[in-house]
Structure 1
Amino acid sequence: MNLFENEDIKIFQEFTDESKEIDHDKINEKYQKGEVRIVTEQGRFQLTTVPSIVESEDYILDPEFQRRHRWSIEKKSRLIESFIMNVPIPPIFLYEIDYSVYEVMDGLQRLTALYEFYSNGFALEGLEEWPELNGLTYLELPSQVRRGIDRRYLSSMILLKETARSEKEEQRLKQLVFERINSGGERLEDQEKRNALYNGPLNRLCAELSRNEYFCWMWGIPQRTNEELKGVLSKELTENPLYRKMQDVELVLRFFAFRHIAQWEIVSLTRFLDLFLQKGNLLPNDVLKQYEQLFNDTSKLVYELFQEDAFCLYRKRNNKWIMYNRPTKVVYDPIMYVLSSYIDNKDQLIKQRDKIKEDILEFYQENYETFGGRNTGKNDVLTRIQLLDDFFGKYLG
């Protein structure tokens, strides 16, 4: 793989400490200066004020480190039931990015659930302690129950602007706090963690490229709409498992990371991707622009050759060879890797796509053991890359 100019990075090169000896005086001085110390303030909101908070320009509800997936109606309903029963609810966490202007670090789902509830956006369902309320919206609830909910409060923990001394330190501390407050709750997916902890130019590029139309067609992800450009996401999109768990963003990240597969040492693939993203966020803008062009061109080429079946395996089931009905990373990684190096030969390949589509079925039969398994180590990926490189190389005379 020929890298772009200035693309070469040392993924496993760590920063070295000047001294490994413990200096108690320096540690005490660091603590007394208040380094890495969070400045907080507590507050609480009456539930009836939540709609005005959500609509206010002073509260930013979708910072980049938030997760994509949204609560089901049943989970929203159970939150409302907790308020009815006066069950203690964990506080929401806010970061003051400017005086009296806040980012919602944790609690977005609770705020939006309450906003939709007060807007009669859903009827309660799945309640266990108050099943007689199932099927009712806010305005349909008995008046006494409504008043009981209205008098409840949602507490908040505010990280004040004084916490960080610079924009870089602010981002680091926000990510640190996000990791700590989410470590005991619902399990974060690998890319959700990266999105929170290692956000930067490359991470944002991967998120943007995950909406590439050809990429989405090949992975069965709903296409971007005009409404999405306005910030309104369709239910079909938010319920798509790849989108909801940010696995689509991880797929884009894999494409770039495997350009540096030679540096994948004895660590898990997850750790390799973590380290690559950290270092990749430091790549210069000209390399990121080349990354963007390369991913878009490669996705288009793969789609023009294979359409929606591009990453589907040809497998043997019940003594019959059939096309597997969903895409797989076992095919995605090597095909994208190989064809990214053949962009200059795209016209030659496209002219022979009928022959290529016919021949690749035989290719999968011959290499069934290599592509049909679940082995995803470095050597397995390299073997698949070599086999596909040999396959496509036959069509370049």
Structure 2
Amino acid sequence: MSSLEDIIDQKIGEVRTESLDFTFGEIVNLHSNKELIIQPEYKRLFRWTDEQKSRLIESILLELPIPQIFVMENMDGSLELIDGLQRVSSVIQFIEPSLLTAIATEENKTEYLVLQGCDLIVDLNGKTFEDLPLRLKIRIKRSSIRLVIIKKQSKSFLRYEMFKRLHTGGEILASQEIRNCSARILGEDGVIFYTFLLEMTSHPAFKNCIETLAQADKEKKGDEELVLRFFAAKNAQDLFKGSVRDWLDDYMENIILKKIDFEYETETENFRSLFTFIYEIMGNGAFVKYKGDNPIGGLAPVLYEAVTVGIFQVLDQIRNIQNDLVRQKIIDTVQSEELKYFTGSGANKRDKLQGRIETIKNALLELV
């Protein structure tokens, strides 16, 4: 039997890294030559304000330490940025913003960065790269930053784990954003699953049903998380141990790593059929609380789980029942003391998850 030391040594050997210092000028050139890649999936993560970007430029000019960045070596030898997007993108935007067109967002258009908010060198405020003296332009381009390269020989799952751990320590990235960006690190199967999630979010009935999802959650890929959450609640209740984030992480990883079966064609049909039915019955009042017959508040994830999976489990039996009867039964059940028990305090427990789904299911069966 292997000792603890042997097990740890083996794991260390499964991740190969190399650390190199690159100048920012070299980084800009690498990105221009497509040798340093920023995937389009990462575009929503570019959220620094102009003040934050400007202070980075100020720090570079003052030769202050800049934290290292992490890149992943692809099979063709190109480097893919997996941590340090804000730093790299800010410098590229300052020097040559046209290179960032592929990762532009409505909030972060790739215009030349005009420095603002610099408080150590206030004379920098209002200046672009072209406004700087040649000596300062050269200083920025020749300043270096440490790149930690995760070699292509490293095992894909450990590369995935590294990305996830790099990003779960802070509050900047939402859980689903981390899943989306890191899924592709696991290879083609990760890309396939991520593409599947995107396709499901585009289904018109689903989009209508989740209109009550807060805009801030939509901007953080909350719609994609809801798709994942439905399939996890339908197929993997046994994986739920109290943390929704860990539950969805584990479920997605198990699918991508083929530890559990996921029939894409069947699940696509299940999803579209279910949400078409829910839309016809409830519209955008499907997953909210009610006061009498009036919907109140925004989308409640615990009600989303209960209503979607509860209906799915009896869909064939209730499909031909009058829409008004089904709608009223759901509205009444959402306000029942039984469902409030399963969606109130301590709702993030497996028995509460199962209880709220069963409550909707059993209520609907009363109509049969």
Please, what is the CA RMSD of the aligned residues?
Answer: 3.9
One-letter code aligned to 1:326: G
In structure 2, the partner of 1:126 is 117
Q: Is the 8 A contact 2:230 2:308 kept in 1?
A: yes
Alignment of 1:22 with 2:3, yes or no, is yes
Alignment of 1:40 with 2:18, yes or no, is yes
Q: Is the 8 A contact 1:221 1:243 kept in 2?
A: no
One-letter code aligned to 2:143: R
Taking the TM superposition and a 5 Å limit, the aligned residue runs for 1:8-157 are: 19=1, 22=3, 35-47=13-25, 49-62=26-39, 68-73=44-49, 74-118=51-95, 119=97, 120-140=111-131, 146=137, 148-157=139-148
Deviation at 1:184, TM superposition (A): 5.6
Structure number with the higher helix fraction is 2
Alignment of 1:248 with 2:218, yes or no, is no
The whole-number CA distance in structure 1 between the counterparts of 2:4 and 2:362 is 58
Structure 1 residues 370 and 28, CA, compared in 2 at 3 Å: closer, same or farther?
A: closer
Deviation at 1:276, TM superposition (A): 3.0
Deviation at 1:283, TM superposition (A): 5.9
Deviation at 1:336, TM superposition (A): 0.9
Alignment of 1:216 with 2:187, yes or no, is no
One-letter code aligned to 1:44: F
SS at match of 1:44: strand
Taking the TM superposition and a 5 Å limit, the aligned residue runs for 1:290-329 are: 290-315=266-291, 323-329=295-301
In structure 2, the partner of 1:370 is 341
Deviation at 1:102, TM superposition (A): 1.8
One-letter code aligned to 2:85: L
One-letter code aligned to 1:22: S
Q: Is the 8 A contact 1:43 1:156 kept in 2?
A: yes
Q: Is the 8 A contact 2:243 2:348 kept in 1?
A: no
Structure 1 residues 55 and 240, CA, compared in 2 at 3 Å: closer, same or farther?
A: farther
Deviation at 1:87, TM superposition (A): 1.7
The whole-number CA distance in structure 2 between the counterparts of 1:23 and 1:388 is 48
Deviation at 1:342, TM superposition (A): 4.3
In structure 1, the partner of 2:362 is 390
Q: Is the 8 A contact 2:24 2:141 kept in 1?
A: yes
The whole-number CA distance in structure 1 between the counterparts of 2:68 and 2:364 is 56
The whole-number CA distance in structure 2 between the counterparts of 1:188 and 1:249 is 14
Aligned residues: 344
Q: Is the 8 A contact 2:239 2:251 kept in 1?
A: no
The whole-number CA distance in structure 1 between the counterparts of 2:82 and 2:264 is 28
In structure 1, the partner of 2:102 is none
TM-score normalised to structure 1 length: 0.70
Q: Pick from 274, 278, 281 the counterpart of residue 253 of structure 2.
A: 278
One-letter code aligned to 1:259: K
Deviation at 1:364, TM superposition (A): 3.3
In structure 2, the partner of 1:15 is none
Q: Is the 8 A contact 1:41 1:157 kept in 2?
A: yes
One-letter code aligned to 2:163: F
TM-score normalised to structure 2 length: 0.74
Q: Is the 8 A contact 1:43 1:158 kept in 2?
A: no
Taking the TM superposition and a 5 Å limit, the aligned residue runs for 1:198-217 are: 199=186, 200-201=189-190, 203-204=193-194, 205-217=196-208
Q: Is the 8 A contact 1:67 1:192 kept in 2?
A: no
Deviation at 1:218, TM superposition (A): 3.2
Gaps of 5+ in 1: 1-18, 223-238
In structure 2, the partner of 1:172 is 157
Taking the TM superposition and a 5 Å limit, the aligned residue runs for 1:335-346 are: 335-344=307-316
Relative contact order, CA 8 A, sep 6+: which one is greater? 1
Give the share of equivalent positions with the same residue, in percent. 24
Q: Is the 8 A contact 1:68 1:246 kept in 2?
A: no
The whole-number CA distance in structure 2 between the counterparts of 1:364 and 1:286 is 31
